[in-house]
Structure 1
Amino acid sequence: MPLTPMDSELFGPMFAQPEVTALYTDQAYVQRLLDVEAALARAQARLGVIPQASADAITAQCAILQPDVPRLSEGLLRDGVPLPALLAQLRPALSPGAREHLHFGATSQDIVDTAFVLGARSALAVLRRLLIGMGDLLAALAQTHATTLMPGRTHAQYALPVTFGLKAAGWLTPLVRHLERLAELEARLYVVSFGGAAGTLAALGTRGLNVAHALADELALSVPPTPWHTQRDTVLELSAWLTGVCVSVGKLAQDAILLSQSEVGELNEGGGGGGSSTMPQKQNPITAELIVAAAGTAAGLLAAVARSGVQEHERGTHGWQVEWLTVPQLLGLTGAALSHTVRLLSGLEVQAGRMAQNVAASHGLMLAESLTFALAGVLPRDEARTLVRDAARRSAAGEGHLVALVRGELGERGAAVAWDDLTEARTLGVTDDLIQRALNHYAQVRGQSAAHTAPPHG
């Protein structure tokens, strides 16, 4: 197994999404650095900071340069940042004047961080599309199974009856919130990094902010109030968002695993599931397992990103490199988790008959709460609770249906109780309203999210 399975031809499809992976090859990364250098030159030419001829030459060379990756690697190991070695490969093809204007007034971190933003923007466009695709599948499940009765479970035990439609709506709602959070995050994340050597843009005199705005305009980004070389809260916010998405789909996948257990049998992954080398009867929930694995790994990576945010003075030491180790992995894992979840939901087999059997097999125990409240009109609350609890023990021991046992104990005292309403299908509370609220919320946010187009750069 390679050191990083996400980059492996063999293991990569398990832990990364192809479109996101393509954004984080060496070639794609270096091209983003070149794109930022070219945009900086064009921005400065617009303002008269450098000649237009220099900007044209820099832009042309950034578009055609075939970098020598081994030399870049040597330079990166020496300098700790790829820019010096990359600029050294750019300069020989430029005129002496254009060489003087290349990377003018910027520092390496300006270029690297702005390129990071471009990559993240492209990756998040993929993740948004996957989120919407998953949301559509969950919304359809919620509608289709709005009345499909199943056991509700708390602390891994039967609780009250619910519907599978409500469970699907419950899986959907955090994803809608993630779409809302993404829109909020993007406004803070999609900004240039441009501060110069110590965050003052001193090399550009009084024109520093003008250049920052022109650079942002070239890249369809914004300008933050101050440079963010060592203020990494937005990187942490992005990482937390990615981890939150992984955790939410991980919860869905964990539920799917539990509901597919042999003795439960309420869901199947579809497509036969994963096979066993020795047990032909097995249909392992492999897709769900991969999603849960991504969620757990993302949580660990988030902790590393959080620690990396404590950086020194105006330019940090090691925290930047920790981001390189973690944030691209988070983007890749989140893409994989969403892609796997779409596949899981697309083939999900809902065993409505088995759900109904499991409800019936509880012999009314899931009606205990409803029964206790129904008796409140004929018995004191404590007496009703004691009666139902004792009857529940008898029902669990196989003596009969809970409602029948309680009705028998009450005799004529229970004449005023609406016994016909004490069925699982009639004790679902406001389930229909909750499902509809979830669907309405998703429809509203989906419309806003779908309006986002693919980014122009990155």
Structure 2
Amino acid sequence: MSQLYASLFYQPQVTEIFSDRALVKYMIQAEIALAQAQAEVGVIPVSAAVVIAESADSALAHLDFDSLAVATGLAGNVAIPFVKQFTAFVKTLDEDAARFVHWGATSQDILDTACILQCRDALTQVESLLQQCFEMALTQTQAYRHQVMIGRTWLQQALPITFGHKLARWASAFQRDLERIHSMKSRVLTAQLGGAVGSLASLQQNGSAVVDAYARNLGLSKPSCTWHGERDRIVEIASTVALIMGTLGKMARDWSLMMQTEIAELFEPTGKGRGGSSTMPHKRNPVAAASILAAANRVPVLISSLYQSMVQEHERSLGGWHAEWLAIPEIFQLTAGALTRTLDVLTGMDVRADQMRANLECTSGLIMAEAIMMALAPKMGRMQAHHLVEKACKTAVEQKCHLQTVISELDEVKQYFSSEQIQQIFKPESYLGNIQAQIDAVLQDAAGERK
């Protein structure tokens, strides 16, 4: 990603986790854990594992990244030239220890494990941002739970809701996303160590014991068997992150539509240089929404490549595995960036309550047609009530008057309801159904989650 666009789409901590330098650092971590595990089991000398572990910090500074980049293009993956350079560096410290670097492992073991370590740390960042979005959505839900606005279906005015209800739905989605992350961790954050074809034949009878110690040293789950060719763990991680991205895209779509000039119910936070136009001084553009929606457009394409890459050949694949290296970092970076911008909007959004109220009246009462129909239905039957109110709506539109005026003059209505009762029926606040109960349920679920 160009530095010019990084601040628009990415988040610094997650970007750093997927940097070239960080990837190599994670590979070193995997190599050290491997050596330590093998020393614990007695496969290699303890002295060799100590030297390999002590080389970690200084090795990173001595590796030649330019040479790695060139060699990766020739080798087919970065692990092969990395192991050569890392081994050469360890050799400068202890020639005997260098003999045991990468003992019994294959390139994919180190790269897959490094990828899982990256995902673990990136998930920590994503989860933190998601939790903050969740908490802020709950705060705003409580603040606006009684703020009546129009609900829209098919982009048309439908029935009254409250802004707090919209926020509660967002908060509920955030909570489900948090639960997904929590539930998958033990299943997907799993070490990879299988050797050439997954049999760890190079370690003879010590394979299982080394895998156990290797996973424990890394703080990862131990696999029951090698998963070189079975990529469901990687895809599940990415899919969960992509679901978060889809949730954020839906929210950004909502508030960007609410920012339209003719709607003007909600605005992103203001700031110097934010949301302006190069030609039109009056513009206040939804720049956070634009960034999030662009990411929400991009991530599904990346996810589809991961699903396609699950169809791999035999024990280790050609091409499918490689496609993950392009998709995983981008999915995480775009989602972390979108979470950052969503949190900013949720925290500082500019809510226009007066405009929400004004928009409730722009149809001259037509949005309350269902309310009066349902009030009449027990008196005359639903179909007759529907026909009566539908006709009244057409009259109101033709005469350009308020639906309440037309309804109040109908003898079929006056025999059942007084003018005061009709007036009450036409109040949007009187037709909110169980919205407050739903909000309470979301808040209670959140309270249970915090315990």
Scaled by the length of structure 2, what TM-score is found? 0.95
Report the more deviating stretch, 414-423 or 167-176.
414-423
Identity %: 35
**How many matched pairs?**
441
Deviations 1:325-381 (A, max 9, x none): 111100000001101111112221110010001112222211111211100132122
Q: CA deviation at 1:414?
A: 2.3
In the other structure, the counterpart of 1:71 is 67
Q: CA deviation at 1:238?
A: 1.3
In the other structure, the counterpart of 1:434 is 438
Q: What amino acid maps onto 2:200 in structure 1?
A: L
Deviations 1:15-40 (A, max 9, x none): 11000011111111101101110111
Are 2:18 and 1:24 aligned? yes
User: 3-state DSSP class of the match of 1:152?
Assistant: strand
CA–CA distance in structure 2, aligned partners of residues 36 and 391 of structure 1:
73
In the other structure, the counterpart of 1:454 is none
Are 2:73 and 1:80 aligned? no
Do the aligned residues in 2 keep the contact of 1:376 with 1:384 (CA within 8 Å)? yes
Q: What amino acid maps onto 2:448 in structure 1?
A: Q
Do the aligned residues in 2 keep the contact of 1:288 with 1:344 (CA within 8 Å)? no
Mapping of 1:146-161 within 5 angstroms?
146-161=145-160
User: 3-state DSSP class of the match of 2:55?
Assistant: helix
Do the aligned residues in 2 keep the contact of 1:161 with 1:359 (CA within 8 Å)? yes
Deviations 1:34-60 (A, max 9, x none): 111011111111111111100011111
In the other structure, the counterpart of 1:424 is 428
User: 3-state DSSP class of the match of 1:103?
Assistant: coil
Change (3 A) 1:416 1:283: closer
User: 3-state DSSP class of the match of 1:429?
Assistant: coil
Change (3 A) 1:146 1:311: same
Do the aligned residues in 2 keep the contact of 1:72 with 1:85 (CA within 8 Å)? yes
- Which stretches in structure 1 are left out of the alignment for 5+ residues? 1-5, 449-458
Q: CA deviation at 1:416?
A: 7.6
Mapping of 1:314-329 within 5 angstroms?
314-329=315-330
CA–CA distance in structure 1, aligned partners of residues 134 and 339 of structure 2:
11
CA–CA distance in structure 2, aligned partners of residues 421 and 276 of structure 1:
45
Q: What amino acid maps onto 1:81 in structure 2?
A: N
Do the aligned residues in 1 keep the contact of 2:87 with 2:98 (CA within 8 Å)? yes
Q: What amino acid maps onto 1:378 in structure 2?
A: K
User: 3-state DSSP class of the match of 1:224?
Assistant: coil
Change (3 A) 1:138 1:99: same
Q: CA deviation at 1:162?
A: 0.3
In the other structure, the counterpart of 1:284 is 285
CA–CA distance in structure 2, aligned partners of residues 395 and 110 of structure 1:
72
In the other structure, the counterpart of 2:447 is 443
Q: CA deviation at 1:91?
A: 2.5
Are 2:85 and 1:89 aligned? yes
User: 3-state DSSP class of the match of 1:400?
Assistant: coil
In the other structure, the counterpart of 2:27 is 33
User: 3-state DSSP class of the match of 2:158?
Assistant: strand
Mapping of 1:290-439 within 5 angstroms?
290-409=291-410, 410=412, 412-415=414-417, 418-422=421-425, 423-439=427-443
Do the aligned residues in 2 keep the contact of 1:178 with 1:241 (CA within 8 Å)? yes
Q: CA deviation at 1:212?
A: 0.4
CA–CA distance in structure 2, aligned partners of residues 39 and 196 of structure 1:
15
User: 3-state DSSP class of the match of 1:264?
Assistant: coil
CA–CA distance in structure 2, aligned partners of residues 353 and 112 of structure 1:
56
In the other structure, the counterpart of 2:48 is 54
Are 2:253 and 1:259 aligned? no
In the other structure, the counterpart of 1:192 is 191
Q: What amino acid maps onto 2:392 in structure 1?
A: A
Q: CA deviation at 1:189?
A: 1.5
Change (3 A) 1:144 1:294: same
